[in-house]
Amino acid sequence: MTKNMITVHQDTLGGPEVLRVIETAIPTPGPGEVLVEVRAAGVNPIDTKIRAGGMWLTPPFTLGWDVSGVVAGVGAGVSRLTVGDEVHGIPGFPRLAGGYAEFVVAAESSFALKPSTLDHVQAAALPLSASIAWQALVEAAQVRPGQRVLIHAAAGGVGHLAVQIAKSRGAYVIGTASPAKHDLLRELGADEVVDYATTDFAETVRDVDVVFDLVGGAYEDRSLRTLRPGGILINITNPPAAEATAAKAEAAGVRGITVDLAPNPERLALLAEAVDAGLLRPVVAETFPLVEVVKAHELAETNRTAGKIVLIP
């Protein structure tokens, strides 16, 4: 193994141009950690937000939480994974482990065996987005057969997986999206699709059991009007406002839940099982070589892609 690797680094906050491709030393796994050779890394909205505004993190750092690759080394005490295992995972969340690189080190618990039916590019589109959708719809809302589920930004990186997860639970799924993405959503199982640009979903959608709001802002108040009494509004876009969301929902006679991603290998394994059973399929919108990360972030910020953008070292 060579001693150096290519990684994406930023010293300051700002636009995509602050992302620089540099050479650094390959990290060494410590106790309980694994070294993964990254075969593909997903790009998420949280990546662009942290790059631009830092949020809870301060540069310098390397972005990247969606990874698929091969275990290249293990530290003391690692017992579940071995060198050569093909894995997918969310290294280090919410701290930065640095998936935009040729290698990444993180706790063994950050990874699970990847779905056997996916290649690494497809698998890199799965871990973070599918985990938050599963956590919201299966663990928090406990979606059941026959329930009506409304998903905003339904064709996005999280949304297109949420549609499939809700459908696999037996729900009637309604998605909001631009017209160009309607055919994809129907292919993924959506029963009804609303063009958010020409139709006010708050005026046309009713008796919803669960709203999965991936937009936030004004969508929150409008979504409350679609819910039946006792329904659930789930938000992941603004965790600091969780108490306000809960209070607003309670006043409307429904429940308001804000979900913070809490990665674990058991959930990653369940997602892999769902994929291999044909219940879940990540859609890759476009791929870029790792060295073209600036172009990938520029595309991500257009919010016009269906599915996930993936970087390939």
At 253 the pLDDT is: 97
Mean pLDDT value across residues 43-70 = 97
pLDDT of 222 > 90? The answer is yes
The CATH classification number of 4-126+282-312 equals 3.90.180.10
The count of C-alpha atoms lying within 13 angstroms of the C-alpha of 45, restricted to the half-sphere facing its C-beta, is 18
Residue 238 has pLDDT above 80, yes or no: no
If DSSP codes are grouped into helix, strand and coil, which group holds residue 216?
Answer: coil
Q: What average pLDDT does range 43-55 have in this prediction?
A: 96
The pair of structure tokens assigned to 125 is 């589109």
Q: Which CATH architecture has domain 129-258?
A: 3-Layer(aba) Sandwich (3.40)
Residues 142-199: tens digit of each pLDDT: 999 999 999 999 999 999 999 999 999 999 999 999 999 999 999 999 999 999 999 9
CA quadruple 94, 100, 103, 108: dihedral, nearest 10: 20
User: Is 129-258 the same fold as 4-126+282-312?
Assistant: no
Query: Each residue of 246-301: pLDDT tens digit?
Result: 999 999 999 999 999 999 999 999 999 999 999 999 999 999 999 999 999 999 99
Closest CA to 67 of 244, 283, 313: 313
Q: Is residue 134 a contact partner of residue 270, using CB atoms and an 8 Å limit?
A: yes
Instruction: Give the pLDDT mean for 80-103.
Output: 97
Annotated domain spans of the chain: 4-126+282-312, 129-258
Enumerate the H helices of the chain as residue ranges: 45-53, 120-123, 127-134, 159-168, 182-188, 201-204, 218-224, 242-251, 265-276, 293-300
Residue 5 confidence (pLDDT): 98
Looking at the predicted structure, is the pLDDT value of residue 1 above 60?
Answer: no
Give yes or no for a contact between 95 and 106, defined as CB atoms under 8 angstroms apart: no
Q: What pLDDT score does 2 carry? A: 67
What residue type is 123 in one-letter code?
A
Quote the crossing angle between the two packed helices 159-168 and 127-134, to the nearest 10°. 50
